[in-house]
Amino acid sequence: MPRASELRKGHVVEISGTLYRVLYVDVRSPSSRGAQTLYKVRFNQLPQGGKREETYTGDDVITSVALERRQVSLLYREGNVYTFMDQDDYSQYSVEEPIISEQLAFLSDGLGGINAMLVDDQIIGLELPTTIVLEIVECIPGMQAASATGRTKPAKCINGYQLQVPEYIKEGEKVRINTETGKFISRD
């Protein structure tokens, strides 16, 4: 069982019988003598997606979970159930849409680098690559000299995801997107 001082982003823990993934750890060192360092931890509930914040001292013990990460790829969708295939042993895991709703905007055919987080052979969440490349299929025409300005325009990707891109981006171009923030990074 890890101590609060050992928690890092991505760890999965159990609090009051519910699973949570660590999103952010803020370390606060009080200036008075003898005071303990405090760890303010922001959690995301798995698989439902609720938020929770807790403050711990460095010696507090947290219950860890036997979590397994497996590299998977999207196989098919049937209704609101998504089926993923394990890249190593070709076993299949099905998961309902609400459990992975935050990642659905970035899923597309052929996307690699997806890690499924499994507890007792059930997917409780997905970890996507930090950046993905998507093709722009719809956007308003840009200005010719727009590269000197910082203005943006709305664009629609091949999988339906909408984001703001610089004015110089045209339809048919591929762009790199940060999956954590959902924002444009660069042209690919």
Identify the pLDDT of residue 101: 79
pTM summary value: 0.69
* Cβ-contact 39, 57 below 8 angstroms: yes
User: Over 80: is that where the pLDDT of 108 sits?
Assistant: no
Could you identify the residue written with the tokens 């998504």? 82
Cβ-count burial 101-128 (b if 16+ within 10 Å, e if not): eeeebbbbeebeebbbbbbeeebbbbbb
Fold of 4-64: SH3 type barrels. (2.30.30)
SS3 144: coil
| pLDDT tens-digit map of 121-173 | 888 888 888 899 999 999 988 666 555 567 889 999 988 899 999 988 889 99
> Topology of 68-127 in CATH?
OB fold (Dihydrolipoamide Acetyltransferase, E2P) (2.40.50)
Domain 131-187, CATH: 2.40.50.140
